Amino acid sequence: MLNWEHKKVLVCGGAGMIGSHMSRRLLELGAEVTVADNLSSGSKKNIETLYIDFEEVDLRDKGVCETLVKGKDAVFQLAADMGGIGYITAIGAQIMHNSAMINLNMLEAARREATPNYFYSSSACVYPEYLQKETEVVPLRESDAIPAQPDQFYGWEKLFSEKLVEAYQRDYGMNIRVARFHNVYAGCFTAYDKDKAKAPAHLVIKALRHPKPPFVLWGDGKCTRSYLYIDDCVEAVLRLVDSDYALPINIGSDRLISVDDLAKIVIDISGKEIVPGHDVSKPEGVRGRNADLTLVEKVLGWRPKVSLEDGLERTYRWAEEHYSELENI
C-alpha cells in the first residue's frame, strides 16, 4: 500500500469537482498537495479551506508543466476542457486542442522529471457509438473501445491521450494508471452552471428553482446512463494508483437508469409536485451507456458503495443549503 505521508503530489485540475475531492483525500492521507488549475470550470471556493499550494496556471504552457512536476512523487492529471452534453456537442476543435496540449505537456514533463507515479483520467466517452444505440445497452467492457468510434470529439481526444499514455509506458517505462470515468457526480464542490454542469447537478438546480422556470428534461427522457458518487470514485482511483494494473479500466457504476427515472429520484427528494417536460431539440448523447465492472472488481476488489438515492440526496441537500451561491448561475 502506498504511503502518502509527506509525498509531494500535483493535482492538475484540482479546483474542479473530482480534483478537489481527490486533493482533500490526499491531504487526509498526509500528502503535501499542489493544485494546478486555470479555473475555467473549477473554482477557488472548492479548495479555499485546504492547506495546499494553489497555482492558477495554463497547463497548455510547456514551461509551466515542467516547473510544476519538479520534485513531485505523483501527478494526478485530471485537467481537461470539458463540460456537460450541451458543451461537448457544441465545441470540438477547442476541446481537442486544449486537452491534447495539456496531456502532451504533462506527460513529457513527467517523463523528463522521472515522476514515480502518474494518473490519467480518461472517460467512458471513448467507447464507440455503435455499441450505445439502445437504451437497454450491454455494459461496456474495456476491450470494447477498439474498433473506435466515439460519438463526440471529446471522446476522440480522450482515446488519443490513452494511446499517448500507452506509447509513453512502452517507450519510456513510465508508471502510469488510467481510469475511464463513468458519469461521476457530487453535491459539494461541483459545477452548477449551464455549460459545465453534468446531468445530476442540472436536475437538482431545476428542482430547486421549480416552478420558475419549468422543469424540462433534455431529449425524450428515455436515454440511459449509470452514475458514480465522488467518494467511491476517489477510493477506486487511489486503489488503482496503488495497483500493478497498467491498462485503462472502468471506474463507474453498473446500475443503468433512464433520465426520466433519474429525474424522479431528484423530484422525490425535493418533496415538490413536479411533472417534467421534455425538449427533444436538445442534445442527449448516445442512447445508452453502462459500465462493466468485471475487471475492476477482479483487479482492485472494488465496487461502488454509495447508492444513487443516497448520493443524490447528499447532492440535493448540499445545493439546497448553498442555493444563494448558485441562484445566479
Note whether 52 and 30 are within 8 A (CB).
Answer: no
Cα angle vertex 171, ends 167, 172, to 5°? 110
Which residue range forms the structural domain that includes residue 91?
8-186+227-252+290-306
Q: Considering the entire predicted model, what is its pTM?
A: 0.95
d(CA 204, CA 312): 8
Inside any domain, residue 61: yes
Domain count for the chain: 1
Domain assignment present for residue 118? The answer is yes
Answer yes or no: is 42 within a domain.
Answer: yes
Instruction: Please report whether residue 15 resides in a domain.
Output: yes
166 part of a folded domain: yes
Distance CA 200, CA 198 (A): 6
- Phi-psi category of 203—alpha, beta or left, where left has phi over 0 and alpha has psi -120 to 50? alpha
Residue 154 forms part of a structural domain: yes
Residues 6+ apart with CB under 8 A from 51: 27
CATH number for the domain including 238? 3.40.50.720
pLDDT in single tens digits along all 329 residues of the chain: 799 999 999 999 999 999 999 999 999 999 999 999 999 988 898 998 898 999 999 999 999 999 999 999 999 999 999 888 889 999 999 999 999 999 999 999 999 999 999 999 999 999 999 999 999 999 999 999 999 999 999 999 999 999 999 999 999 999 999 999 999 999 787 766 666 678 899 899 999 999 988 999 999 999 999 999 999 999 999 999 999 999 999 999 999 999 999 999 999 999 999 999 999 999 999 999 999 999 999 999 999 999 999 999 999 999 999 876 665 44
Domain-embedded: residue 112: yes
Dig out the grid coordinates for 15 from the structure. 479546483
For residue 142, what is the DSSP state?
A: G
Integer Cα distance of 196 and 219 in angstroms: 18
Active site residues: 154
Give the whole-angstrom CA distance, residue 262 versus residue 49: 32
Is 273 inside any structural domain? no
